Amino acid sequence: MQSLLVDGGRKLNGTVRISGSKNAVLPMLAATVLFKEPCCIRGCPKLTDVDAAIDILKYLGAEIQWYDGDLMVDPRSIRKWDIPDSLTRRMRGSVFFAGALMARFGKCRLVQPGGCPLGKRPINFHVDGLTALGARQDSDDPGVYLGEISGTEIMLPYPSVGATENLILAGVGASGETVIRNAAKEPEIECLCDFLRAGGCCISGDGSEIVRIKGGLPSGADMQMIPDRMEAATFACAAASAGGDVIIEHVNTAHLETVLQVLERAGCRIDRFEHTIRLRSDRLHSPGTIITAPYPGFPTDAQAPMMAALLRAQGTTTIYETVFSDRMHHISAFVEMGAKIELNKNSAYIHGVSELHGGAVTAQDLRGGAAMVIAALAANGTTTIHGLNHIQRGYEDFTLKLCALGAKVQKA
Ligand code: EPZ
């Protein structure tokens, strides 16, 4: 298991450029299954989760080619639909292939995917949605769903990001119109729909709670990725934690407004431009209570990075995690580094301390691992963070970007 060594106590100064969005590109890669012609995804991030999605596309029969930071996918030779569990288990993003394959072939394998251990992560909304569209479980193999799907109205019990995206992909292959109510509104969903519309699909309402999809497979598309709002939030929290003056380029500032507001309440000076943020930070104080929620609320993926940034903030900060049932694993690592945190079910009470110290900690998930780096930047001495593989799933050139800002981070 590869590790990171972080020498803390150094301020961050300089400019960092954000990569394309992991959580937008994963459903887009699954969506290429639907296209009749080749697609180009410009600004595709080089991540291990993207590698996992590419391995699935290659297994299915697609032709893949990288051109610098752009990814070409030719889906015309895709003939397979039955993805082996070994590929499905590598990440949560594999679940999107079920909706796309159902749309193209009228059959798919829909089994529990991989992904970060954030508590129970069932796929019942995905199964119920595909069933409502007409998919039926194969009597001989319960992991397989098949049938002619036709448009219908689906009410999601919760604005699930993945279920919304999966059912949009299935709806593209259904006859008639599919309406998804109580849909998630995350920017990654609008990016997926822009990609499908670039191929000629007729989709409206994305970004609101009612999404309408008219059946009809897309031709080809050539589209620029949106920037990764979670990577931007991570670097904003890193600058807040270590202190300094950092410019974050290639962001859609509106996509991380709730994160910026919390950092401003904590004492950061933030200058906003449409695609750039300047953040200056010295001493932080508690921003009060933070409650995670579906977009446009405070994003659950920024919960761990923000907690890390506030470990030395004067006063007590309350963070209440409402989206996932078990997303506080990073707390034990922060306590190991000298933080004072009480946890009561999904509420964490962070009592600011004057100093953190280095130690040896282990990442268990993507955002928790990045948060441990953020805490280590503010700690006195050296911190060893095991589990670099978790971080590499969602952050492109993370070490390089941090060192360019003046941090002392190296792989071990
Ligand atoms: C997506 O996960 C993201 N992953 C997650 O990012 C993100 O944290 C999450 O959305 C919420 O914003 C990708 O896009 C690849 P959900 P997803 O369905 O789709 C429950 C990261 O760090 N639920 O919105 O799995 C679920 O258990 C990752 O980049 C069901 O009960 O999230 C959770 O409590 C982590 N049944 C809640 O809904 C279902 O069928 C929200 O999950 C599906 C979900």
Give the model confidence (pLDDT) of 187-197 as tens digits: 999 999 999 99
286 and 313 Cβ atoms separated by less than 8 Å: yes
What percentage of residues in the chain have a pLDDT greater than 70? 100
Residue 344 has pLDDT above 90, yes or no: yes
- Of the candidates 306, 375, 366, the one whose C-alpha atom is nearest the C-alpha of residue 334 is 375
User: How many Cβ atoms are within 10 Å of 221's Cβ, its own excluded?
Assistant: 23
**Tokens, residue 69:** 């930071």
3-state SS class at 67: strand
- What would the two tokens of residue 130 be? 């595909």
Of 88, 323, 398, the residue with max ligand 1 atoms within 8 A of its CB, to mutate for a pocket test, comes to 323
Question: 124, 161, 367: which to mutate for ligand 1, most atoms within 8 A of CB?
Answer: 161
Q: Which two tokens stand for residue 399?
A: 């070490």
396 CA to centre of ligand 1 in angstroms: 21
Task: Kindly give the distance from the C-alpha atom of residue 324 to the centroid of ligand 1, in angstroms, as a whole number.
Answer: 8
pLDDT at 67: 97
| 211-254 per-position pLDDT tens digit | 999 999 999 999 999 999 999 999 999 999 999 999 999 999 99
Distance, in Å, from the CA atom of 56 to the CA atom of 245, rounded to the nearest integer, reads: 41
For residue 11, report the distance from its CA to the centre of ligand 1, in Å. 34
CA 19–ligand 1 middle distance (angstroms): 21
Pairing of strands 221-224, 210-214: unpaired
Annotation says 39 is catalytic: no
Cα(230)–Cα(4) distance, integer angstroms? 20
Q: Which of 39, 116, 193, 268 is catalytic?
A: 116
Q: Which of 317, 329, 311, 327 lies closest to 376, judged by CA?
A: 311
For helices 22-31 and 161-172, what crossing angle results, to 10°?
Answer: 20
Which residues sit with their C-beta closer than 6 Å to ligand 1? 22-23, 26, 92-93, 116, 120-126, 158, 160-163, 184, 300-301, 323-324, 366-367, 394
**Spacing, Cα 3 to ligand 1 middle (Å):** 27
Phi-psi region of 65 (alpha: psi -120 to 50; beta: other; left: phi over 0): beta
Give, for ligand 1, the residue of 19, 22, 92 to mutate: max count of ligand atoms closer than 8 Å to Cβ.
92
Q: Which two tokens stand for residue 157?
A: 């019990």
pLDDT in tens, 349-388: 999 999 999 999 999 999 999 999 999 999 999 999 999 9
